[in-house]
Structure 1
Amino acid sequence: MTYYGWILYNGHLSGDKFKDYADLLQKAASEAGVRTDIKQNNELLPLLTTNENRLLSNETLPDFVLFGDKDLYLARQLEQLGIPVYNSSRSIELCDDKSFMYQKLAKENFPIPKTILGPKIYRPSQDLSLPMEAVEKELLYPMVIKEAFGSFGEQVYLVHNRNEMMEVVQEIHHRPFLFQQFVSTSYGRDLRLNVVGDRVVAAMKRYSTDDFRANITRGGSMEPYDPTEEEVDLAIRATKAVEADFAGVDLLFGESGEPILCEINGNAQIRNIYECTGINVSDKMVDYVVQDLNTKRGNQQ
């Protein structure tokens, strides 16, 4: 069974890592005998009319899409056209919005840092009305403030007092944000587990000596890691909770070394973990997609 697919990334993000992600997947697909084209999201505009629901482009549609972006509307459009999308629009929706993600994880009793969601504020304001004392009493200092939308450790702030808190909130309050407990026992270190389907296929430990965030893009270091059964189970269950086919799951270290779920990245970059572990996650992703497509076609016959 042969397939033709699109590998999609965002056409307006600067930096080589997004195209590199697509290139890794295309190489893996080629080695698996799967023909693919790399597309940018701005090449594939959805067209909606009373009688039509298609793409503005008249290109031949693929059998599947590897969706390395967060363009939720395009993912939904492709699904409405009957194209399997990996990860699905539902997964993109759950992973991209951290507030939505934490609500989902809390509902299913996952171990997450204590989190307080900020209110919807439509426009910048000098007159903010927020129950700061209640937030401080619940979370204590230092605490983390996160914008709901952000990647690579950006839009994440550590504050140590009311003045620092208000400075950050004043800067970001017109965008969705949240307050979160700071897990001090995990300062400057975390785990990244890459999940494909029902398996953790690669894992690494990340650490930083001068930043509470351990992201490699922020100067952190990395080393291969052999996760415990508890960490593997948590990563797989978390991936299923956000309905993802594959994900990069970030875990923190609790007071007794227990894993705490930090975030689930639905379109996690795979270059760093490849260089760290020698495991090419893109090979596993392509194998998963081919097997899933074979199953879908078998069920339709």
Structure 2
Amino acid sequence: MQKTGWMITNSSLKTAQFKEMCEMYAAAAEQVGLKLIQLYNDEIMMGLNEGELFLKGIKVEERPDFILFLDKDIRLAKQLEGLGFRLFNNSDVIAACDDKSLTFQRLAGHGIKMPKTIIAPFIFYGQLSNEVCYLQPLEEQIGYPMIVKESFGSFGEQVYMVKNRDELIKIREEVGSKPHIYQEYIASSKGRDVRLNVVGGKLVACMERYSETDFRANIAQGGGARPFDPPQAFIEMATKVCKILAIDFAGVDLLFGENGEPILCEVNSNAHIKGIKACTGINVAVPILEHIKASL
């Protein structure tokens, strides 16, 4: 009997690009003998009644065999798991990857080379302090140029380079109370990184992204892409990261160190798959759905 899954996406993302990606997943599911039904997160009402979790909404009475969770709605993911649904990826993985500070904390102590990172202290909304007592030690630890990243962000957005204290103060004012991190700048990887798509612990596709005009290599920021045959060290780091975080599938972004060694940039639990298909010809949706089918 054909197994059926829900493909849950965010209701605020109804762009042509995102729609095309969802169509790629649906076609891949059909190719491997599965069926996918797309649902937006706001089509499912979640709550509690008399101390018990409940769901209300379209098709919720038709319990699926699995859920391809292409959203970052952690509360919905937790609700579904609490009711016994199996998610790919699960809520813990999505939370660990979505929050960049949490990603680095989870991977610390496992021999993963990462940029030196300072996690900004929690600040209440509307409040901000620029005392020298914080800025000076930060400058001493990281130095300039410094990379400032909001903990929640995609497509290379919410990532800034600052070259002096005035720029740092300005960016801190703009970021405000949003969770963020400060990192050393990996100059050897300026405008260049590698995206490795890992599924079920195995590398399935890889591309190098590059930019001649920006320190970020993201395609969304005007960068280009080309197929890349990664050195074994890059493959080992990407698969190790996914194993540590118990990831079903992810796009792992690695930087180039001074000697060409891999340095972790970030991990994307819901990496977009259109770009890497256009670059390499590999439809990552197929191995993802094959992995889900084999896992059921």
Q: Matched residues in 1 for 2:114 and 2:124: separation?
A: 28
- 1:43-192 matches, cutoff 5 A: 43-57=43-57, 58-125=60-127, 127-129=129-131, 131-192=134-195
Identity of matched residues, %: 44
Give how far 1:211 is off: 0.4
Give how far 1:14 is off: 5.3
Deviations 1:84-131 (A, max 9, x none): 100000101100111111111123231000000001001223543451
Aligned twin of 1:256: 259
> Does the CA-based 8 Å contact 1:45-1:74 persist in structure 2?
no
Q: Matched residues in 2 for 1:152 and 1:126: separation?
A: 26
Q: Matched residues in 2 for 1:111 and 1:10: separation?
A: 33
Aligned twin of 1:16: 16
Q: In the superposition, relative to structure 1, how do residues 5 and 280 fare at CA in structure 2: closer, same or farther (>3 Å)?
A: same
> Does the CA-based 8 Å contact 2:130-2:169 persist in structure 1?
no
Give secondary structure in 2 for the equivalent of 1:230. helix
Structure 2: unaligned runs, 5 residues or longer: none
> Does the CA-based 8 Å contact 2:122-2:177 persist in structure 1?
yes
TM-score, normalization: structure 1?
0.94
> Does the CA-based 8 Å contact 2:128-2:177 persist in structure 1?
no
Q: Matched residues in 2 for 1:292 and 1:126: separation?
A: 47
Aligned twin of 1:299: none
Letter in 2 for 1:187: K
Give secondary structure in 2 for the equivalent of 1:99. helix
Deviations 1:56-104 (A, max 9, x none): 2243121101111111011111111211100000101100111111111
Give secondary structure in 1 for the equivalent of 2:170. helix
> Does the CA-based 8 Å contact 1:9-1:18 persist in structure 2?
no
Give secondary structure in 2 for the equivalent of 1:45. strand
Q: Matched residues in 2 for 1:178 and 1:165: separation?
A: 12
Report the number of matched residues: 293
Aligned twin of 1:204: 207
**Structure 1 runs, 4 residues or longer, greater than 4 Å off:** none
Q: In the superposition, relative to structure 1, how do residues 33 and 126 fare at CA in structure 2: closer, same or farther (>3 Å)?
A: closer
Q: Matched residues in 2 for 1:68 and 1:207: separation?
A: 26
Aligned twin of 1:25: 25
Q: Matched residues in 2 for 1:280 and 1:196: separation?
A: 12
TM-score, normalization: structure 2?
0.96
Give secondary structure in 1 for the equivalent of 2:108. helix
Q: Matched residues in 2 for 1:160 and 1:192: separation?
A: 27
The one of 257, 276, 279 equivalent to 1:276 is: 279
Letter in 2 for 1:82: G
Q: Matched residues in 2 for 1:36 and 1:125: separation?
A: 45
Letter in 1 for 2:161: L
Give secondary structure in 2 for the equivalent of 1:249. strand
More displaced, 227-236 or 100-109? 100-109
The one of 241, 246, 250 equivalent to 2:249 is: 246
Please report the RMSD computed on the Cα atoms of aligned residues, expressed in angstroms. Answer: 1.3
> Does the CA-based 8 Å contact 2:199-2:287 persist in structure 1?
yes
Give secondary structure in 2 for the equivalent of 1:56. strand
More displaced, 239-248 or 52-61? 52-61
> Does the CA-based 8 Å contact 1:22-1:68 persist in structure 2?
no
